[in-house]
């Protein structure tokens, strides 16, 4: 059982702060590192894996610093995001080479066990260059597991996987976590993290935005105010009805560019709605429109990008 | 030395199309020597000129640049170096293993053909063939260590290496006598001169640096570069994006 501890860790590159004062503890079990692209997840994983020096703060594994400490890799298995391996080798040769690099007493049986764990025994005698994305991912997993490490770090392991491969990897990681390993994987997709991680750490713009189990994070995300852009046959009437109904805290009518002639929809205005009670608003809107005989042309959530969802958590 | 690191290095160095370049470069002086031999018969002067300017002056730095930077550069570029770095292996051991592979390629693919070139044109007379072969070997190992280090220090190692090899070694080192003290080529030539022995001067095998300075310099640069590269490899940044 191993625990990774980040204490006040920052990392900057020139003027760019990639990781900003992060303190977190990664305990045994599966932890998801969630955040949009560019949030600093990879930098954080590199810091945890000892590939980057923290500009300030410390990263320790069971009390030992990971930076400039090569023997720490007896305890860490790393699955990098990048695809590159040594082409011109078979999967088996590559995993075996990794076992030898670890200086294991019996590299052959360690490699065989790792290849079996990721269910690659059959294709392992083929050249890595011929592998599909999912196969490459599994061989990468095997190289990380070959020395049976208590800590497993995976950088965007689900990227580019098809649903079946995804399920296999989820099963595998779940098993690893259940057996007492400390498993950390990064992802920018909420659903992946939801399915797998017992505990979630959210990163946004280099900062540690939230942590907790999935329910807590989901709650934070749905409770935030939502914005919608609505176009209808009578925006003014709809606006007053929405405000009267109570699910929204504000509406704003905006005259669209080229107003009056473009679409013949009866109105070329745009209605911006700030929904205070998300679920109430989405249920009320179609009912209101039907009652007032207003046609809805477009209902667009204005800020559903992951970036804005996460930003809310930071600004909260 | 780590056998697995060496094995992986050899695979990526000799794999892909790099091996063709490594075979082709030393073949140029070899073929030229055959042509000269058939046209004019054995000739020590031509042998010296060919091995001096073509082999030692041009082919060797290029060969070592390909072998030295090829032994680690591609792994750093494509990120596969993480598989070496995420292991409990001392970083200096990784560098020494890579230098061993690059050096072996210099000896087998550059020094041996040089010896044959010398034999074809000059026979065993005055140990000219042996002298240049050993010069190519020791110079090549030092060049490889330098270019290996460059590859760890910068992503533009090939460009920097080319500038060094072509501009510094062949231009500055050739014309400015003071610069010869800082030329791997001259250090290697000092070893050649020593092996050729008594008739070296008469044949024009003249290094700009005495042997007593050349040997320590070769050792210091080869060992120092590899040591420093090992230090820098400890802190090398493995980025995700290109």
Triad A268, A269, A275: Cα angle to 5°: 140
- Averaged pLDDT of chain A: 88
DSSP calls for A280-306: HHHHHHHHHHHHHT--EEEEEETT-SH
Name chain A contacts of B12, Cβ cutoff 8 Å. Answer: 86, 88
Residues of A in contact with B2 (CB under 8 A): 101
CA distance A191 to A170: 12
Please give the pLDDT value at position B174: 62
Give the closest of A70, A81, A85 to B240, CB-based.
A81
Judged by CB atoms closer than 8 Å, whether chains meet at B234 and A89 is answered as no
What confidence category does residue A303 fall into, taking pLDDT thresholds of 50, 70 and 90?
low
Upper half-sphere CA count for residue A19 (Cβ side, 13 Å): 27
> Which residues of chain B make contact with A102, given a CB cutoff of 8 A?
87-88
CB-based contact A46 B238, cutoff 8 Å: yes
State ipTM: 0.90
Which residues of chain A are within 8 Å of residue B78 when distances are taken between CB atoms?
82, 84
Q: Residue A264: its pLDDT value, please?
A: 45
Find, in chain B, the residue whose alpha carbon is nearest to that of A53.
B235
> The pTM is what?
0.84
How open is the CA angle A52-A57-A59, to the nearest 5 degrees? 55
Who among A72, A85, A100 is closest to B80 (CB)?
Answer: A85
- Tell me which chain A residue has its CA closest to the CA of residue B81: A85
Candidates A143, A105, A107; CA nearest to A124 is A143
Distance from CA of B52 to the nearest CA of A (A): 37
- pLDDT score for A248: 87
**A253–chain B nearest CA distance, Å:** 43
Q: Which of B85, B88, B91 sits opposite A51 (nearest CB)?
A: B85
For the residues A78-103, what does the mean pLDDT come to? Answer: 92
For residue A278, the model assigns a pLDDT of 75
pLDDT, residue A113, reads: 96
pLDDT at A262 over 50: no
pLDDT at residue A162 in the model: 84
Q: A118-133 pLDDT, tens per residue?
A: 999 999 999 999 998 8
**B192 touches B134 (CB < 8 A):** yes
Nearest CA in chain B to A46: B238
CA distance A163 to chain B (A): 24
**pLDDT, tens only, A193-250:** 888 988 999 998 899 988 888 777 777 766 666 788 899 998 889 999 999 988 888 8
Q: What is the pLDDT of residue A26?
A: 96
Chain A contact present for B216, CB below 8 A: no
pLDDT of residue A305: 55
Comparing alpha-carbon positions, the chain B residue that sits nearest to A40 is B240
- Say if residue A265's pLDDT is above 50: no
Q: Hey, of B15, B79, B82, which one would you mutate to test binding to chain A, going by the most A CBs within 10 A of its CB? A: B82
Distance CA B106, CA B67 (A): 8
Q: Where does the pLDDT of residue A80 fall: very low under 50, low under 70, confident under 90, or very high at 90 and above?
A: very high
Q: Along the 242 residues of chain B, how does pLDDT read in single tens digits?
A: 899 999 999 998 987 788 999 999 999 999 999 999 999 999 999 999 999 999 999 999 999 999 999 999 999 998 999 999 999 999 999 999 999 999 999 999 999 999 999 999 999 888 999 999 999 999 999 999 999 999 999 989 999 999 888 788 767 656 777 778 888 999 999 999 999 998 898 998 999 899 999 999 999 999 999 999 999 999 998 865 43
| Min Cα–Cα distance to chain A from B4, Å | 6
pLDDT at position A314 is 61
DSSP letter assigned to residue A179:
T
Looking at beta carbons, which residues of chain B come within 8 Å of A52?
A: 237
Name the residue among B142, B144, B100 with its Cα closest to residue B2: B100
**B237 contacts on A by Cβ (under 8 Å):** 51-52
B165 Cβ under 8 Å from any chain A Cβ: no
Query: What pLDDT, on the 0 to 100 scale, is given for residue A195?
Result: 84
Contact B235 A53 (CB under 8 A): yes
Whether the per-residue pLDDT at A261 is higher than 50: the answer is no
pLDDT recorded at residue A198: 86
- The number of angstroms, rounded, from the C-alpha of B192 to the middle of its chain's C-alpha atoms is 15
Q: Which residue of A has its CA nearest to B240?
A: A82
CB contact under 8 A, B87 and A70: yes
Mean pLDDT within A103-130: 94
């Amino acid at each position: 059982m191993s625990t990774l501890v980040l204490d006040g860790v920052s990392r900057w590159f020139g003027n760019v702060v990639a990781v900003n004062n992060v303190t977190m503890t990664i305990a045994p079990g599966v932890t998801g590192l969630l955040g949009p692209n560019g949030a600093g997840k990879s930098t954080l994983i590199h810091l945890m894996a000892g590939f980057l020096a923290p500009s300030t703060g410390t990263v320790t594994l069971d009390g030992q610093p990971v930076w400039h400490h090569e023997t720490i890799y007896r305890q860490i298995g790393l699955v990098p995001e990048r695809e590159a391996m040594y082409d011109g080798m078979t999967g088996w040769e590559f995993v075996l080479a990794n076992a030898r690099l670890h200086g294991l007493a019996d590299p052959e049986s360690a490699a065989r066990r790792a290849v079996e764990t990721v269910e690659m025994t059959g294709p392992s005698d083929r050249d890595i260059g011929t592998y599909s994305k999912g196969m490459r991912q599994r061989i990468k997993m095997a190289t990380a597991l070959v020395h049976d490490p208590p800590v497993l770090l995976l950088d965007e392991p689900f990227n580019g996987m098809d649903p079946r491969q995804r399920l296999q990897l989820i099963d595998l990681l779940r098993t690893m976590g259940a057996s007492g390993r400390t498993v950390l994987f990064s992802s920018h997709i909420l659903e992946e993290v939801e399915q797998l991680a017992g505990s979630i750490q959210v990163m946004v713009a280099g900062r540690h935005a939230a942590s907790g189990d999935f329910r807590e994070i989901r709650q934070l995300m749905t409770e935030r105010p939502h914005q919608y852009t609505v176009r209808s046959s009578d925006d003014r009437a709809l606006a007053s009805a929405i405000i009267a109904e109570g699910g929204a805290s504000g509406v704003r009518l905006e005259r669209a560019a080229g107003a009056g002639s473009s679409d013949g929809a009866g109105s070329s205005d745009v209605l911006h709605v700030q929904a205070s009670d998300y679920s109430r608003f989405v249920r009320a809107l179609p009912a209101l429109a039907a009652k007032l005989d207003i046609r809805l042309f477009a209902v667009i959530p204005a800020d559903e990008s992951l970036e804005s969802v996460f930003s809310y958590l930071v600004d909260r | 030395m780590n056998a697995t690191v060496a094995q992986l290095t050899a695979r990526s160095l000799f794999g892909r199309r790099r091996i063709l370049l490594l075979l082709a470069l030393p073949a140029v002086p070899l073929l030229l020597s055959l042509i000269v031999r058939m046209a004019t018969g054995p000739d020590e002067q031509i042998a010296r000129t060919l091995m001096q300017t073509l082999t030692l002056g041009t082919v060797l730095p290029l060969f070592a640049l390909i072998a030295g930077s090829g032994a680690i550069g591609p792994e750093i570029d494509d990120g596969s170096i993480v598989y070496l770095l995420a292991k409990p292996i001392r970083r200096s051991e990784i560098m020494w293993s890579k230098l061993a592979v690059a050096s072996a390629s210099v000896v087998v693919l550059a020094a041996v053909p040089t010896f044959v070139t010398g034999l074809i044109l000059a026979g065993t007379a005055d140990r000219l063939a042996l002298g240049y072969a050993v010069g190519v070997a020791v110079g090549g190992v030092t060049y490889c260590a330098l270019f290996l280090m460059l590859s760890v220090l910068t992503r533009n190692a090939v460009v920097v290496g080319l500038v060094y090899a072509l501009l510094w070694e062949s231009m500055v080192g050739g014309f400015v006598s003071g610069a010869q003290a800082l030329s791997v080529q001259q250090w290697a030539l000092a070893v050649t001169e020593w092996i050729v022995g008594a008739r070296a001067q008469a044949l024009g095998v003249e290094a700009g640096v005495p042997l007593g300075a050349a040997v320590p310099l070769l050792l210091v640069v080869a060992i120092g570069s590899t040591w420093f590269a090992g230090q820098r490899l400890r802190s090398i940044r493995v980025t995700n994006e290109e």
